[in-house]
């Protein structure tokens, strides 16, 4: 694990000393938007018009943030427009790499060995963490965005005129409700598991894990009367929750000590995660070997032996009861 400082790679773990043992996530640096006509989006600069074959997506199968973007690429049928590379599941002193492993898709643009080389191609003096996902523009040779919440919104609409699949996962009339759910789920669940897992004091750990389970209890209740988080149908709020839920019992319960309850013990949440997993195109975005290997092997301050547990044995393709709620 490391970061770039003035374009130079440095191997360094997260600093939690300056924040009372708390893990504090930094904001993403590249914030432009692909739009249908190339006009500027809500942030960054314009010039990134939706065009077939122009953009390349770098992801890790392990990473829940990158996973969102792969799901939206599948839901919207963007595979034919946007090419993809997948990094190795192990992230250590060199950060994310393209070292061969089952599932890795090498970098076709530069033949890079390391993900940090992609960042310095975009900005030779870049300072900051080298995260996935990265959405790359082949035409101007730069990073459009490395912020997953924004990449999924681009994918939701920018390619509609080029023949993307139908489906609006951020409908204008429900944005307020989606934003409110996202806000709570992001802080207490998506990032909550990391705050619990990367905490280096008991207080910081408890500060994360208690609200995490309060939100899971709230979601369980919410899903007793509605198939998805909104009556509208599946929205980005569901997909943003899904990538954390599918990793929860295999990784976060053990490795991140988020173990007050399991997702398997929640009736609605466990059926809901299978329902989402079984939607067209989604199962192939889930690579459980990469997920488990990444967390258990890469975080040696948490798991120095790097032993990857064999369980739990979960069949996400088992039948679910959510269809009866429609």
Binding-site ranges for ligand GSH (CB under 6 A): 1, 28, 63, 65, 129-133, 146-149
Point out the catalytic residue in the list 194, 252, 266, 272. 194
Burial environment of residue 141 by CB neighbours within 10 A (0 to 12, 13 to 18, 19 or more): exposed
Judge whether 130 is annotated as a binding position: yes
Tell me the two tokens of residue 179. 């934003």
Point out the catalytic residue in the list 55, 58, 61, 63. 63
Ordered DSSP codes for 5-58: ETTEEEE-----GGGTT---PPPPS-B---BSSS---SSS-S--B--TT-EEEE
Judge whether 189 is annotated as a binding position: no
Tell me the two tokens of residue 253. 């319960």
Report, in Å, the least distance between residue 317 CB and ligand GSH.
Answer: 25
Residue among 184 and 261 whose Cβ is closer to ligand GSH = 184
Report, in Å, the least distance between residue 235 CB and ligand GSH.
Answer: 18
Residue among 200 and 278 whose Cβ is closer to ligand GSH = 200
Nearest to 55 by CA among 125, 173, 144, 180: 144
Q: Let me know: does 248 contact 296? Beta carbons within 8 Å.
A: no
Neighbours of 34 (CB within 10 A): 26
Judge whether 308 is annotated as a binding position: no
Residue among 9 and 228 whose Cβ is closer to ligand GSH = 9
User: Is 194 an annotated catalytic residue?
Assistant: yes
Report, in Å, the least distance between residue 298 CB and ligand GSH.
Answer: 9
Judge whether 129 is annotated as a binding position: yes
Residues sharing a CB contact under 8 Å with residue 224, sequence separation 6 or more, in sequence order: 268
Residue among 23 and 205 whose Cβ is closer to ligand GSH = 23
Q: Let me know: does 147 contact 195? Beta carbons within 8 Å.
A: no
Judge whether 131 is annotated as a binding position: yes
User: Is 170 an annotated catalytic residue?
Assistant: no
Report, in Å, the least distance between residue 111 CB and ligand GSH.
Answer: 21
Binding site as annotated, residues for glutathione:
96, 129-132, 147-148
Binding site as annotated, residues:
96, 129-132, 147-148
Catalytic positions, written as ranges? 63, 194
């Amino acid at each position: 694990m490391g970061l770039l400082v003035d374009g130079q790679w440095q191997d360094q773990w997260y600093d939690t000393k300056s924040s009372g043992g708390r893990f504090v996530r930094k904001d993403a640096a590249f914030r432009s938007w692909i739009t249908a006509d190339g006009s500027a989006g809500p942030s960054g600069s314009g010039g990134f018009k939706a065009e077939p074959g122009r953009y390349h997506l770098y992801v890790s199968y392990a990473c829940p943030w990158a996973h969102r973007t792969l799901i939206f690429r599948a839901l919207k049928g963007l595979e034919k427009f946007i090419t993809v590379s997948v990094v190795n599941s192990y992230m250590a002193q060199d950060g994310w790499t393209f070292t061969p492993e089952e599932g890795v898709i090498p970098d076709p643009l530069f033949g890079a060995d390391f993900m940090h080389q992609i960042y310095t191609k975009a900005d030779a003096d870049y300072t900051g963490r080298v995260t996935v996902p990265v959405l790359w523009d082949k035409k101007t040779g730069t990073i459009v965005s490395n912020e997953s919440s924004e990449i999924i919104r681009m994918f939701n609409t920018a390619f509609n005129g080029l023949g993307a699949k139908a489906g609006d996962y951020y409908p204008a009339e429900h944005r307020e409700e989606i934003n409110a759910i996202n806000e709570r789920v992001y802080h207490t669940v998506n990032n909550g598991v990391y705050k619990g897992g990367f905490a280096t004091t008991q207080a910081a750990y408890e500060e994360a894990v208690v609200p995490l389970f309060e939100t899971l209890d709230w979601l369980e209740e919410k899903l007793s009367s509605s198939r998805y988080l909104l009556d509208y149908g599946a929205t980005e709020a569901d997909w943003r929750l899904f990538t954390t839920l599918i990793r929860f019992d295999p990784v976060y319960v053990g490795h991140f000590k988020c173990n007050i309850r399991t997702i398997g013990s929640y009736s609605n949440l466990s059926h809901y995660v299978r329902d989402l997993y079984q939607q067209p195109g989604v199962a192939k975005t889930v690579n459980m070997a990469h997920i488990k290997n990444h967390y258990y092997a890469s975080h040696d301050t948490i798991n120095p032996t790097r032993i990857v547990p064999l369980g739990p044995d979960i069949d996400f393709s088992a039948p679910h009861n959510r269809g009866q709620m429609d």
